[in-house]
Structure 1
């Protein structure tokens, strides 16, 4: 039985982009699927962040993000997009892409557009370009964003993340009945995956029962 990982992330979260590499390495050649789950750290109209104008965030990049990216072999940079965009529209595009069977491709492409190409992923023209590059219909995608066709889908996804899944920080990975929060190394993810796959192989979930040759 395929093990499913729910990966909660936000496109402007540097730790989410960092975490993708070890996660994707950890699932290689395993019966595991990633289900990307939308999460907005600062939904509109919350004030957007501008790391280039915030010395504490610049220091964080220098002290934590850049060294970790180098250690894990992740090509990324602090985008010169000031302030950082809201991601609600990008996630509306994700819902459309998912319906076309290209959700994972879209996630990967939008992350790269922001953290590698330094593009404004709050701009519908940039998002449409991303969509076309992964083979989505340009007219349909543009119309979906312009009309807000998936706005309710995104609001429902956020409500699920906040209220049902209890997500308070990203990245958060829900792997079977275990939860990992934050960017962690490949080895830690593999350990959780192996435990969960071992449970699945048994085909048995234990509960209270009466067993053979035992009295109840």
Structure 2
């Protein structure tokens, strides 16, 4: 089974949704599931090192008071706790995530895409790291399993720019208007950090469809072998 997830590293519900998907997958032990994280920028024009807090940014973006914006982050913090996450919006650093997404493409190629995504989400929401900063990206990417020299080559050039843009264009083509956005086997979509039960329902449908369905044409006289031995038709005692 293939699950594609469009998300951004500064998206709180992307982290919460990730945990809920993982909880759903735990209910299907032994199943072969490939989860691929794809690039989506909530704000492609976001600036680095603005010096503004998340609360100030939310207040300005939605025309709310600082108190109202603080209430929004408090609500998300409580939701995060329900899946074992510790969000710290008071010290979180808003930034541009494009370069982090470029290196994420390298991580996918090297087979450490899931580890990379987890490391960067935790760095943003729990450790208050600036994932728009080159040195920070290098350090986190190396922790996730990438070679430091390879990461620096990507950051010092334009590597994977087209790959990021292609995934963002693909999201637009299939109707993604917000993240997280999950696509199961290119047939079922889950938009947002839905309850775990919603993911379970989608997975059950997809797994059921993957099971082969045969029309049984056999007749009673067919010989068969089981763990108890082989039985010849008409030779029963």
Which TM class, normalised by the smaller chain length? 0.7 to 0.9
Q: CA deviation at 1:50?
A: 4.6
Structure 1 distance, partners of 2:207, 2:37, is 20
Among 170, 184, 194, the alignment partner of 2:179 is 170
Instruction: Report the counterpart of residue 119 of structure 1 in structure 2.
Output: 129
1:130 to 135, 140, 148: 140
Of 4, 8, 19 in structure 1, the residue corresponding to residue 2 of structure 2 is: 4
Contact 2:77 2:86 in 1 (8 A): no
What aligned pairs does 1:43-62 form with structure 2 within 5 A after superposition? 43-44=44-45, 50-53=53-56, 54=59, 55=66, 56-62=68-74
CA deviation map 1:54-79 (0-9, x unaligned): 224322112x3122122222232216
Q: Which runs of 5+ in 1 are unaligned?
A: 205-216
Larger Rg: 2
User: Which deviates further from its counterpart, 12-21 or 68-77?
Assistant: 68-77
Q: Where do 4+ consecutive residues of structure 1 move more than 3 Å?
A: 45-50
- Local SS of the residue matching 2:193: coil
Match of 1:213 in 2: none
| Residues 117-172 of structure 1: per-residue CA shift (max 9 Å, x gap) | 1100000110100121123111121121111211121112211111x222101111
Instruction: Pick closer, same or farther for the CA change 1:5–1:123 going to 2, 3 Å.
Output: same
* More deviation, 176-185/114-123: 176-185
Q: Out of 88, 91, 106, which is 2:101 matched to?
A: 91
CA contact (8 A) 1:79 1:116 kept: no
Equivalent-residue separation in structure 1 for 2:143 and 2:151 (angstroms): 12
Equivalenced residue count is 199
1:81 Cα deviation after fit: 3.9
Say which SS state the counterpart of residue 72 (structure 1) adopts.
Answer: coil
1:143 & 1:107 partners in 2: Cα distance? 20
Change (3 A) 1:60 1:45: closer
The answer to whether the aligner puts 1:78 opposite 2:89 as a matched pair is yes
- Normalising by the residue count of structure 1, what TM-score does the alignment of the two structures yield? 0.84
Contact 1:16-1:170 at 8 Å conserved across structures? yes
- TM-superposed CA distance for 1:45, in Å, is 5.8
CA distance in 1, matches of 2:200, 2:192: 15
Structure with more helix by fraction: 1
2:16 paired residue number: 18
Q: Which residue of 1 is the match for residue 199 of structure 2?
A: 189
Contact 2:2 2:35 in 1 (8 A): yes
The range that moved more, 134-143 or 104-113, is 134-143
